[in-house]
Amino acid sequence: MNGTKRTFYFVLGWVMVALGFIGALLPVMPTTIFLIIAAWCFSRSSPRFEQWLLEHRVFGPTLVQWRKHGAVPKRVKWIACSGMAFGFAMFCYFARPSPVLGVGVALFFIACGAYVVTRPSLAA
């Protein structure tokens, strides 16, 4: 891989780490998906930072389960679905979307929630 691509993946990896850590603090923003993407980016740019993520005491086990088994722990499923429901409620309350937009966003969240719920679960 050339240096430009490696640099792009490295920078994108850190952007995803930043978004993931912000998501860990904000209930309406996801965490895990950003860290999964970060690990993928680092696998193409920095084995050192990929290993750092995979060995992280809080996020590492979930990332390893995803990578090995495509699995999402039950606790993470509940957090993800609850966050989506809360985010949708806040969207409706504050944005007052048109019925068409509201249904579109609801269908998007339902599809995302269905994907998360249908992933295998392993112990966290």
Distance CA 7, CA 46 (A): 9
What pLDDT does 24 receive? Answer: 85
Please answer whether residues 17 and 38 qualify as being in contact, where contact means their C-beta atoms are separated by less than 8 angstroms. yes
Same domain for 63 and 3: yes
pTM for this model (two decimals): 0.76
Both 17 and 65 in one domain: the answer is: yes
Question: Rounded to an integer, what distance in angstroms lies between the CA atom of residue 34 and that of residue 25?
Answer: 13
Q: What is the mean pLDDT of residues 70-92?
A: 89
- Residue 18 corresponds to which tokens in the numbers above? 């930043």
Residue-range definition of the domain harbouring residue 112: 71-124
**What's the pLDDT score for residue 83?**
85
d(Cα 117, Cα 72) in Å, to the nearest integer? 8
How far is residue 78's CA from residue 101's CA, in Å, rounded to a whole number? 25
84 and 94, same domain (yes or no): yes
To 5 degrees, how large is the angle CA 103–CA 119–CA 38?
A: 90
> Are 82 and 60 members of one domain?
no
**DSSP structure class, residue 115:** H
What are the tens digits of pLDDT across the range 16-56? 999 999 988 887 678 888 999 999 999 999 999 999 999 99
